[in-house]
Structure 1
Amino acid sequence: MLLSGYTNTVYRILIIDDDIQNIFVLEDILSPLGNIYFSESGSNAFALIDKIKPDVILLDIEMPDMDGWQVCRALKADPRYSDIPIIFITGHTEPEFERLALESGGVDFITKPFNASICCLRVHTQLQFRQQNHLIVKAKEELQQLVNQVPMLITYWDSSGNNLFSNDYSGNWFETLIGHIDGQHISTIFPPELSAAVLRHQKQTTSEPLKYIVTVKNQLGMSFYEVFQSKMKSAVGIDGYLVTLVDVSEVKHAKQALYSEKERLRVTLNSIGDAVIATDTRGLITFMNPIAERMTGWRIKDALHQKIETVMQLRDSNTRHTLLNPLYIALREQRIVAMALNSQLTARGGQVFAVEDSAAPIRNENGEVIGAIMVFHDVSEAMAMAMKMSHLANHDQLTDLPNRILLQDRLSVACSAAESFGNKAAALLVDIDHFKYLNDSLGHQLGDEMICLMAQRLRSLIPPSYTLARLGGDEFVILMSDAHSVEASSVLATKLVEAMHEPFVLAEQKFSVSVSIGISVFPNDAKDAEELMRHADVAMYRAKQEGRNRFSFFSHDLESSIRERHQLETCLRNAIIHDELFVHYQPKINLATNEIVGAEALVRLTDSEGLFISPNEFIPLAEETGLIIKLGKQVLYKACQEAKSWLNMGLNIPISVNVAVAQFADPHFANIIEKALHDYQLPAELLELEITETALMIDAADMQTKLYQLKSLGIKISIDDFGTGYSSLAYLKKFNVDVMKIDMSFVKDMLNNKHDYEIVKTIISLGQSMGLALIAEGVETNEQRQALLELDCLMGQGYLFSRPLSASDFNAFILQHKG
């Protein structure tokens, strides 16, 4: 019987075939056997093989880039994959093909069309063979390890006391075991005391093990061996007896030393300066030394068998919440556990001690945890002094803000964290304009008061997670750690400059001051904390040179891009607030009849001069700033309103609206859709929502639930830009969608690029097999239109028919089209 035994294995089956229909057929046949993976190209399969480590590969022979023979030979030549069984699949039945398959390293041959039961049996057989091979190799390794590592001497002797077997090949137990000892008498191999004991007990030996202890004298003193002796018959039929030895010398010596050790331990625990409390595995006290009695206020006779939390009451010095005694953690996790910081011990009489130290499990000679020990001491005075010294060393004496030393440490931590998590860190160096003249005119005392008031105002303007430090004089630094964008530093700097317009009151007089701020961003401007501060200083002097009362970035390009982005964000916010977004409509056309079968709503934005801004610029910004939800809602309402106006004109034109991931994440999104349909009395079947395939895959389970809610309203769901993301067919078939849109990047070059043509063809075939309506985007020529019709794609949109049009132009287009 194999030591490892059988395990419940989930097999990984890889299908390499350029025909997607074959893949679907094989997936249905083989899915009961395990997880199915596939590749439509031989050359692309290698990366997938390295990733999933398949248990069996079904390989098509005839493929365009690499045929099956080439793929098979390449896999067999690679030691990493050479043991993976390969089954060839082909439509050929000639013996020559089967011979070539076996010569290339294949293990079996499946012909098309597939016989489901035979195909399944052939694959299952290879999977069983592979599992058996793994188990055999594993069992051999385990057996060898068992013999080599068993911590005892195993010997077998015939009835006359001659040796038949020993597992000690190197003389680890006795030097007399080295070399060829088969046939030698036990008295020449074992020490005299041991051999005499074995021979003496031979008459008493039965099939049940006889156990006894033998003491052997040696150069180091005394050794103790526990002997197990039993009668048995070997595989070749020789009667004899099995003798196994276990060296128990350490245990014996340990027991002999236990009494003296316990006495030394008792004296030590009673005389040390730390408090010691021991418990059993349930946390019941078994021992306390005199220091523990004094600090807890409990006598040992009263504390015995009490719960440790009753005797040793620990609380957090800040929150006063009761703390879990670390002794319980030491028992549960069987490791040394330090006491929580800021721990307080409340004695029985009410006295409070600040304590620290640790708890550790107590083990017996077998390594079993039999209890735990708590060692602690009073650190009240030391902690108070340490806290005071640490605070003075790291804080400014005038403002009590972090000083340069503490700031440098936090800058280093912030830069390291930003580098690790892909975030940013920003340093804002704030300098009071003309403070020297103010300080000289007011006097140093009022100047110090001004510094304190400035510190208070700055602290009130920043989140608690930011660090505000004083470098000295009139210079402050604000550290923005874990910033997700450079723009956040610009927003904060603007806020700080504007907040200084409020006068300060000193000696019942108002004084107006301004600040100059230099901003440096990691990793954009600096590679480390030191450079970050140096560049912030440069930027601050640039702000002073440009007129003070302002902020400046170290990078001119960055500052320029931030200002442009800020202008764009302002424009977008104003457009949303004042309902100034435009919606244009691009018609969807029946490619065969030239009828208008729908329209896609596309948002447009203009700048202050009335020029259109590209959606590629403001849509990503809307998503980043969270404005996409308000933008999407406004576009949805305008589109529903326009579709209702078409309906009033007697035109049944469905309208499709693009939906961002953030909108789907909104728990009230379904209610927003329902309200829009109700407000404009628009039939639900005239509204279609478009979402990208990549968005569908972010949280497939949650998306499936939300799609079901939306579908229950009666609207349609469309997958936009299909083929450009990472699609999982297993997930895709679970989504209840109605329309699949073929991305314009494939349609554009489908007549010039064979691969794009095949992708379009495959997407259409896939959509048809799933019962989805198909719309091709970016149709610009009649040749593309004709090619799509030949592939059974009946709908399209693009410049061949019309660009996106304003509402009035679209109405004119409808009338012209009808004419």
Structure 2
Amino acid sequence: MRRGTMEPEDVLPNANEPKGDAQAPDDVFLQKLKEIRLTEVEAALQASQEWAQATLNSIGDAVVTTDLACRITYLNSVAEKLTGWSRTDAMGRPLTEVLILVNGQTQQTAVNPALRAMEENRTVGLAIDSVLIRKDGSPLEIEDSAAPIHDRDGVIRGAVIVFHDACQSPIQSSKLAYQAQHDALTGLPNRILLAERLSRAIGLAKRHQHKVALIYLDLDDFKPINDSLGHSVGDSLLQAVASRLSECVRDTDTVCRQGGDEFVVLLSEIEKPQDAAGIAEKILTALATPYQIDTHELRITTSIGISLYPDHGINAPMLLNNADTAMYHAKENGCNHYQLFRTDMVTQREQRHHIEFQLRQALKDNALFLNFQPRIDIATGLMCSAEALVRWRNPLLGLVQPSAFLPVAEARGLIGPIGHWVLVEVCRQLQAWREEGMAIVPIAVNMSAMELRDKSLPARIAHILSKTGLDAHFLELEMTESSLVYHEDDVSIATLAALSRLGIRIAIDDFGTGTTSLKRLKCVPLDTLNIAPCFVHDMLDSQENAGFIEALIHFGQNLSLRVIAKGVETQAQLDRLAMLGCDGAQGFLLGKPLSAQDFTTLLGSGKPLGPHS
């Protein structure tokens, strides 16, 4: 044996030496050596585990591991932070208790990703829109994946889930930035992005001495379509409008959805106002073409206001406000055309705001009243019906003409309340006259397109008739052809049919001035056809005009409708209408609009008003 060193054979027992119960000194030494080696292995393993744990805690993602039964075996510090669970509390708990996942859209419980990874033996991604419900109940959108854990023999022993806060990812940040600047329905830039681009365009225009145009659009009569056919159809129509608008402009321009049915087009560089006017005309034509939405053929027009930099404003708020002002001016002057901003429009808009405020107050104070204009049976000269006309006497402005306040009421959503008041007052007044022993005649009330598309209208009128006790056939409802421009199955047709079943008379007003097709007209349960005053005024100018009136009269009578000519102002006109066989007439020749008191006197007289008087 060499001194000073120990060879393996020095510590191994000699097979020739006798064995006893007592452990030999060499056995003791061997046992201690084994213990030393075990301690070293445990220390190395502990160091490896500490290193692995430090590594897992240093990364930015949350890490959760489970066993085969999907019980938690590990959470790193990021997982503790995101879930709200400490490692101590989570250990051994079911994964579905610590990592509660739901679908962010449906709020339904999402599939357990660890279980999927083990069952399919592959890495799986978390479902789109996965939301983690933290321990305190707060939601957190997360994203990433889960994978199975294998031992050295390839046997699955559990699963690992790695995830992070989705809001912190570059993709999500980009997505959120896009959503903040774009309209969710149409994908167009929203008012936030418009403001940025408009400010940039103004800066460039100032530097390079060119103009910027802002085109403000509001869709005419969109609300009735949306209310009657449903928001799904309305949304599809807005998307179609957005697409057509985008096709009308250059790539360097911006089409924005301002909100609701309002859009703004930014023309970032033009030379003269006519450039903006040309785009406006192009838009009017494009949007007026019928839309096929599901089974509905829809027609819609738009009103446009235009403002220019630097002519009408030197900053974004001024240009937007002035374009909006011009748009309202266009809408209140007939719709489906454009107006370039003028400074006098500001004064007019202030006046309209003033009228709106006072009109709302008039409704509260019951300050509106009715006049009644008689209609005669041409053959007998006797009054056969009358038209109710709403009037407003303002304490400061005096008698305000309907042409001044009804467009404001239409634009500001007051036409519905005013129309309801007229219906109640007409029915109340008719029944009051009847109870006084008067021989009452049917009274006609004008209805707007918005009112006709109110599904509750038949029920409301039935309630009014029941409350006042008036027979339904004494009430006549008039609508213009423009109120009937939509598809045959829309709510207005169903509403008119329901009203007709109640016994209410239905009339089409100003016939000949609209665009209603005969197919469309056939669907309306009509009783009366009113010829527009413009045709009556021209009927004596030429044989051609007289022939047109005659054709209208025969058309209505062939459909078994009563035909009334409106706007009769001369005896010659009345005589020609009588010769052509027209049923009735209305106009200043036969009687101006009368107060309720004067109309009461007329009802009681029973005298003819026409040529027989």
The TM-score with structure 1 as length reference comes to 0.39
For 1:688 and 1:422, the matched residues in 2 are separated by 32
Partner residue, 2:406 = 619
Write the deviation string for residues 189-217 of structure 1: whole angstroms up to 9, x where unpaired.
xxxxxxxxxxxxxxxxxxxxxxxxxxxxx
Identify if the C-alpha distance between structure 1 residues 412 and 684 changes in structure 2 by more than 3 Å, giving closer, same or farther: farther
Specify the code of the residue in structure 2 equivalent to 1:709.
A
1:481 aligns with 2:255: no
Give 1:524 shift.
3.9
Is 1:630 aligned to 2:414, yes or no? no
DSSP-derived class of the 2:367 partner: coil
Please list, as runs of the form range in 1=range in 2, the aligned pairs for 1:235-314 lying within 5 A after superposition: 303=120, 311-314=124-127
CA contact (8 A) 1:346 1:352 kept: yes
Shift of 1:582: 1.1
Offset of residue 623 of structure 1: 1.4
Whole-angstrom CA distance in 2 between matches of 1:422 and 1:413? 23
Measure how far apart 1:624 and its partner are: 1.4
Q: Deviations over 1:769-801 (max 9, x none)?
A: 111011110111111111111111121110011
Distance change (3 Å), C-alpha of 1:526 and 1:795: same
- Cα shift at 1:585: 0.1
The equivalent residue for 1:730 is 519
Contact 2:484–2:516, Cα closer than 8 Å, also in 1:
no
Shift of 1:557: 2.2
**Alignment equivalent of 1:316, drawn from 108, 123, 129:** 129
Contact 1:646–1:652 under 8 Å retained in 2: yes
Q: CA deviation at 1:555?
A: 6.7
Counterpart-to-counterpart distance in 2, 1:683 and 1:526? 57
Give the AA of the match of 2:315. M
Q: Is the 8 Å Cα contact of residues 439 and 603 (structure 2) preserved in structure 1?
A: no
2:585 pairs with 1:796: yes
Match 2:144 to one of 345, 363, 370? 345
Residue 346 of structure 1 aligns to a residue whose secondary structure is: strand
Distance 2:473 2:524 in 1: 18
Letter aligned with residue 407 of structure 2: P
Shift of 1:579: 1.1
Larger RCO (CA under 8 A, 6+ residues apart): 2
What code does the residue aligned with 1:564 have?
A: Q
Contact 2:214–2:308 (8 Å) recurs in 1: no
1:526–1:535 Cα contact (<8 Å) kept: no
Compared CA separation, residues 625 and 531, structure 1 to 2 (3 A):
closer
Aligned to 1:526: 308
Q: CA deviation at 1:610?
A: 5.7
Tell me how far apart the structure 1 counterparts of residues 352 and 171 of structure 2 sit (CA, whole Å).
51
Q: How does 1:736-747 map to 2 (within 5 A)?
A: 736-747=525-536
**In structure 2, how many angstroms separate the alpha carbons of the residues matched to 1:301 and 1:672?**
63
Alignment map for 1:321-336 (pairs within 5 Å): none
- Secondary structure of the residue aligned to 1:799 is coil
Q: CA separation of 1:573/1:539 partners in 2, compared to 1, >3 Å: closer, same or farther?
A: closer
Contact 1:345 1:354 survives alignment (8 Å): no
3-state SS, counterpart of residue 315 of structure 1? coil
Q: Equivalents in 2 of 1:747, 1:728: separation in Å? A: 22
Partner-residue secondary structure (3-state), 2:258? strand
Contact 1:417/1:482, CA 8 A, preserved across alignment:
no
What's the RMSD between the two structures over aligned residues? 4.4
Aligned in 2, Cα 1:300/1:315: closer, same or farther, shift over 3 Å?
A: closer
Q: Deviations over 1:345-404 (max 9, x none)?
A: 13231211579xxxxxxxxxxxxxxxxxxxxxxx977669989999xxxxxxxxxxxxx9
Spell out, residue by residue over 1:434-491, the C-alpha distance to the aligned partner (whole angstroms, 9 max, x if none).
xxxxxxxxxxxxxxxxxxxxxxxxxxxxxxxxxxxxxxxxxxxxx99348789xxxxx
Which residue type is aligned with residue 557 of structure 1? D
Aligned to 2:99: none
The 5 A counterparts of 1:433-472 are none
TM-aligned CA distance change 1:529 to 1:535, over 3 Å: farther
Give the C-alpha shift of residue 423 in structure 1.
7.6
Q: Which residue type is aligned with residue 345 of structure 1? A: D
Aligned pairs (5 A) from 1:325-404: 344-348=143-147, 349-352=160-163
Q: Could you tell me which amino acid in structure 1 is paired with residue 494 of structure 2? A: T
- For 1:667, the equivalent position in structure 2 comes to 455
Q: Which amino acid aligns with 2:371?
A: H
Query: Which residue does 1:687 correspond to in 2?
Result: 475
1:585 paired residue number = 372
The 8 Å contact of residues 776 and 797 in structure 1, kept in 2 or not, is answered as yes
Matched AA of 1:714: G
CA gap 1:416/1:659 in 2 versus in 1, 3 angstroms: farther
C-alpha distance in structure 1 between counterparts of 2:448 and 2:501, whole Å: 20
Structure 2 residue 533 is matched with structure 1 residue 756: no
How far apart are the structure 1 equivalents of 2:393 and 2:555?
A: 40
Change (3 A) 1:604 1:353: same
Tell me the equivalent position of 2:196. Answer: 408
1:563 CA displacement: 1.1
Q: Tell me: CA distance 1:413–1:577, structure 2 relative to 1, closer, same or farther (3 Å).
A: farther
- Say whether residues 1:809 and 2:591 are aligned partners: no
- d(CA) in 1 for partners of 2:118, 2:431: 89
Kindly tell me the number of residue pairs found equivalent between the two proteins. 363
Alignment gaps of 5+ in structure 1: 1-295, 322-341, 356-378, 391-403, 425-478, 487-521, 541-553
> Alpha carbons of 1:778 and 1:423: their partners in 2 closer, same or farther (altered >3 Å)?
closer
Amino acid in the other structure paired with 1:351: V
Measured in 1, the distance between the counterparts of 2:546 and 2:505 equals: 28
CA deviation profile, 1:693-736 (whole Å, cap 9, x unmatched): 22123243223321211111111101111001012112212221
Letter in 2 for 1:593: T
What is the CA distance between 1:812 and its match in structure 2?
2.3
Hey, what's the Cα distance between the residues in 2 that align with 1:620 and 1:389?
A: 41
Is the contact made by 2:212 and 2:309 (CA closer than 8 Å) also made in structure 1?
no
Any unmatched runs of 5+ in structure 2?
1-112, 134-140, 148-159, 179-191, 203-210, 221-255, 264-303, 323-340, 609-613
**Deviations, residues 225-252 of structure 1 (Å, cap 9, x unaligned):** xxxxxxxxxxxxxxxxxxxxxxxxxxxx
Q: Residue 5 of structure 1 corresponds to which residue in structure 2?
A: none
2:313 and 2:319 in contact (8 A); partners too: no
Aligned counterpart in structure 1 of residue 348 of structure 2, from 558, 561, 576: 561
The alpha carbon displacement at 1:299 in A equals 13
Given the superposition, is the C-alpha separation of residues 385 and 754 from structure 1 closer, same or farther in structure 2, using an over 3 Å criterion? Answer: closer
- Asked if structure 2 preserves the Cα contact closer than 8 Å seen for 1:315 and 1:345, the reply is no
**What SS does the aligned partner of 1:525 have?**
strand
Structure 1 residues 738 and 526: CA distance shift in structure 2, 3 A? same
1:630 is matched by which residue type in structure 2? P
2:386 aligned with 1:599: yes
> If the length of structure 2 is used for normalisation, what is the TM-score?
0.52
Distance in 2, Cα, partners of 1:676 & 1:655: 15
Report if the CA contact (8 A) 2:199-2:316 is conserved: no
Distance 2:319 2:214 in 1: 21
